Amino acid sequence: MNRVVSTRRDGRWFGTGHSTLTDPGAAGAEAATTAITGTDPVVVFVFCSVGHHTAAMLDAVRERVAADTVIVGCSTSGQLSAGATSKDGVVVAAWGGTGLAVRTHVSRDIANRLRDAGVEAASCLGAVDHPHRALLMLGDGLTGNQDEIVRGAFSVAGAAVPLVGGCAGDQLTFTRTYQFHGGRDGVEILSDALVGVAIGSDAPIGVGIAHGWRKTGSAMIVTRSQGGRVQELDGEPALDVLLRLLGLDESVLDDPDAFRQATFPHPLGLSRRSGEDIRVIHDGDRSDRSVICLADVPEGALAWIMETGPGELAAAAGQSGRQALDMLAGSPALGSLIFDCSARRLTLGDDGVERENDGLLTAMPDVPFAGFYTNGEFARVRGALGMHHFTVVTLALA
């Protein structure tokens, strides 16, 4: 398959670079040099593993940008680009040229005020005046009910502006994640932050969302919940229901890793007009017999245990890419960013991840792409909801 790393068309360009060098500074330099194929990049996205998130890595990127270039990014649970994935390393995506604009806003200390953080992050949209706009957000992956971020951002962006992005990762250690924001004069390395990136373009912008999961068994009503903690399903303790439906013994709770290995292949699916939103079941609490998901599970929601096969799960990436391209109104894609759930990577394994990447190459031939494995995906093209898990989200620029 043709593995394109850069394109140039009608005065606009898009480039990607991917490095697995162990030295962070050298990796940043290699990835940025490959990605920055045009003069005066408008924006440079930097996604890297924990350990590569150093000042030396970001300094190597800064040295290669223009005075007014915006640099944003975050730590990951893995990186991806056309034809390659890595656990440790750096991915850089850059674009520039005519008819493109980017403005940013950073919201800090967000853990206890997520909705306000979403409002603040979206405030940069007012500085972008182009016929096609989107709000991209990069958030801390450990801040709780991230649906509140989406609600806050939607209150500013409105229904006409799509939301897209991902939450920073840390190789599923759930310890600390990092967000980056700055430019040539300096880049901050933050935690507990939300970076809002308003994108303006004279050409169309597309967003694709797909997950590859299907319902199994009977529907259940979420009869009691608070945020991502589900206390009851159909009036029974949610943990008891989960263990029974999956045929698991209580002892699986003794080992958090064993519990996740058993539950990640069977997330909750919440009924939505456009299909199902996926909720990763991250933990179980013996004290109140609840299960803990990584995003909001509202009371009264209709829910199913979901299942999939390796082929269906991997194929979702290509479906997401095709959806994004279909939104470009017939215009060819300049490049794309991919936000892929880290739990998908764990479930797919190395062979499945390779099939997934091949699916993106098939769906988006001759289109450079780069992205990362997330702790949750932002994506909204209709309605007010837009927090996802176990999902692949694609942003495509014409």
Average pLDDT over residues 292-296: 85
pLDDT at residue 2 is higher than 80: no
**CA distances, 376 to each of 25, 92, 189 (Å):** 28, 20, 20
- Measured CA to CA, the distance from residue 91 to residue 86 in angstroms comes to 9
- Measured CA to CA, the distance from residue 11 to residue 42 in angstroms comes to 13
- Measured CA to CA, the distance from residue 48 to residue 178 in angstroms comes to 10
Q: Where are the domains of the chain?
A: 6-210+312-397, 214-307
What is the sign of the dihedral through the CA atoms of 374, 378, 381 and 382?
Answer: positive
- Residue pLDDT, tens place only, 319-378: 999 999 999 999 999 999 999 999 899 889 999 999 999 999 999 999 999 999 999 999
- Residue pLDDT, tens place only, 175-224: 999 999 999 999 999 999 999 999 999 999 999 999 999 999 999 999 99
pLDDT for the residue 4: 82
pLDDT at residue 122 is higher than 70: yes
Average pLDDT, the chain: 94
pLDDT for the residue 23: 98
DSSP 237-302: EHHHHHHHHHT--GGGGG-HHHHHHHHTTS-EEEEETTEEEEE-EEEEETTTTEEEESS---TT-E
pLDDT at residue 1 is higher than 70: no
Rounded to two decimals, what is the model's pTM? 0.91
Does an H or E element contain 361, and which? helix 342-363
